[in-house]
Amino acid sequence: MSTGTDNIIVFDKVNKWYGNSFHVLRDIDLQVRRGERIVICGPSGSGKSTLIRCINRLEEHQEGRLIVDGTELTDDVKAIDRIRKDVGMVFQQFNLFPHLTVLENLTLSPMYVGKIPKKEAEERAMTQLKRVRIAEQAEKYPLQLSGGQQQRVAIARALCLTPKIMLFDEPTSALDPEMIKEVLDVMVELANQGITMICVTHEMGFAKAVADRVIFMDQGQIVEQNTPHEFFNNPKTDRSKDFLSKILGH
């Protein structure tokens, strides 16, 4: 289990295909340090979601090695379970469980996966809800909340397992503009608390504020990676220049 290095995630020549023909990830090499905050960006369909979904095995890769917190991801179900306890994920569409209250959404995993008593799970859930500033909504059902509130609940749900790594897949893309900030504020706070964070987003303000590194993907490859300052002010490739000019609206 020991890592030997302080890299919490290591992609080593990872390749993935959808079906037989579509080569979605091509020779991905990536090391993520413990506590590092990474933003991934790139055009639609470039494989960003697929890349981060490999980390908690929502997608499986076919070639290469992927090591998360010292455990290699294979078909070994036990290893997958262990890794999922350490990796929280936040989805674009929130994916809260609509038939459960906010509190039940949060206590489910601690109770059934973490095997901790209900009362303790509820205390832990309330702590996380306070952290995302939504404690007063605990008894409501998800569909009674606004999009921004739902996404903050989703973040709290992921945090309830006290993960070492948080994955965000375009967490603000499905939100109305006036709600984006409340979610980003929560994410910034989280980023400042030392958790390892990988975030697919096109919120460049967020990237500049918290990211240690920006990774730019295109056509299943990592095309460029750099500090936010360098990447935004001095992109090296024509692809990234083109992409930046589009999203920054120049």
Partner 1 sequence: MAETIIFQSKPARPAPNRTEGLLPWIKLNLFGTWQSALSTVIIGALLVLYVPQFLNWAIFTSTTSTNADACRAAGVGACWGAVVEKYRLIIFGRYPFDEQWRPLVATLIMLTMLVVSCIRYFWSKWLVLGWTVTLAAYFILMYGSLFGYLDVFGLSKVTTDRWGGLPLTIMLSTLSIMLAFPLAVVVALGRRSHLPAIRSLCTVYVELIRGVPLISVLFMASFMFPLFMPQGVTIDTLLRVLVGITLFAAAYMAEVVRGGLQSLPKGQTEAAASIGLSYWQTQRKIILPQALATVIPGIMNNFISIFKDTSLVTIVSLYELTGSHGLAFNSDADWRPFKLEGYLFIVAIYFVFCFAMSRYSLWIEAQVNKSKLR
Ligand X SMILES: Nc1ncnc2c1ncn2[C@@H]1O[C@H](COP(=O)(O)OP(=O)(O)OP(=O)(O)O)[C@@H](O)[C@H]1O
Residues that bind ligand X (CB under 6 A): 18, 22, 24, 42, 44-50
**Burial of 4: CB neighbours in 10 Å, binned 0-12, 13-18, 19+:** exposed
Please identify, using beta-carbon distances, which residue of 42 and 110 lies nearer to ligand X.
42
Return the CA Rg of the chain: 18
Q: Which of residues 83-122 bind Mg ion (CB under 5 A)?
A: none
- Strands of the chain, DSSP E: 7-18, 22-33, 37-41, 63-68, 71-72, 87-90, 165-169, 196-200, 213-218, 221-226
49 lines the binding site for Mg ion (CB under 5 A): yes
Please identify, using beta-carbon distances, which residue of 150 and 201 lies nearer to ligand X.
201
162, 81 Cβ separation under 8 angstroms:
no
Please identify, using beta-carbon distances, which residue of 18 and 97 lies nearer to partner 1.
97
- With contacts defined by CB under 5 A, how many residues of the chain interact with Mg ion? 1
247, 73 Cβ separation under 8 angstroms:
no
Tokens of 130: 């306070």
Query: Which region among 7-15, 48-56, 221-229, 242-250 touches Mg ion (by CB under 5 A)?
Result: 48-56
Please identify, using beta-carbon distances, which residue of 11 and 91 lies nearer to partner 1.
91
150 lines the binding site for Mg ion (CB under 5 A): no
Query: Considering CB distances under 5 to 8 angstroms, the limit depending on partner class, which of Mg ion, ligand X, partner 1, none binds residue 134?
Result: none
DSSP code of residue 116: -
| CA pair distance 138, 104, nearest whole angstrom | 9
Q: Which residues bind partner 1 (CB under 8 A)?
A: 56, 58, 81, 84-85, 87-89, 91, 93, 95-101, 108-109, 112-113, 141, 143-144, 157-158, 160-161
* Residue nearest to ligand X as judged by C-beta position: 49
Write phi, then psi, for 197 (nearest 5 degrees).
-140, 130
Residues engaged in binding Mg ion (CB under 5 A): 49
